[in-house]
Amino acid sequence: MTPTYDQARQLGKAYVGALNTGADAFRRLFAPGARVLVGGAPAKDPAALFAVTPPGRSGFRRARLEPPHVCFTIRVRDRESARDLVHRVTVDEAGRIASVEA
């Protein structure tokens, strides 16, 4: 399913909010068996994304549609700088994340 732009924005905000809350909240956004790639390598757990988007330092910037993907831009802040990362997400029919590449 490709969500509408408004649905994508809402999911992006929930995604970063859950990412900043903790592993359990973050995992609940994912469908069972979701495909997770971090730096091109498969990961067994969505919490592996914390390595590139650390909780407490990640903020939602924007969402854009690139059917069938939704791309979330996430700003990661360090003490002296900030960088924007893109997470490419697909969503299942129930609105859960079926895959993510970061």
The pLDDT tens digits of the residues spanning 10-39 come to 999 999 999 999 999 999 999 999 999 999
For residue 99, pLDDT beyond 90: yes
Question: Sign of the C-alpha dihedral, residues 86, 92, 95, 99?
Answer: negative
Phi, psi of 50 (to 5 degrees): -60, -25
**Rounded average pLDDT over 80-97:** 96
Please compute the mean of the pLDDT values over residues 79-97 and round it to a whole number: 95
pLDDT, tens only, 35-85: 999 999 999 999 999 999 999 999 999 999 999 999 999 999 998 999 999
Nearest to 39 by CA among 93, 102, 85, 86: 102
Extents of the domains making up the chain: 5-101
Helix (H) or strand (E) holding 21: helix 5-21
- pLDDT over 90 at 2, yes or no: no
Q: What is the CATH number of domain 5-101?
A: 3.10.450.50
- pLDDT over 90 at 1, yes or no: no
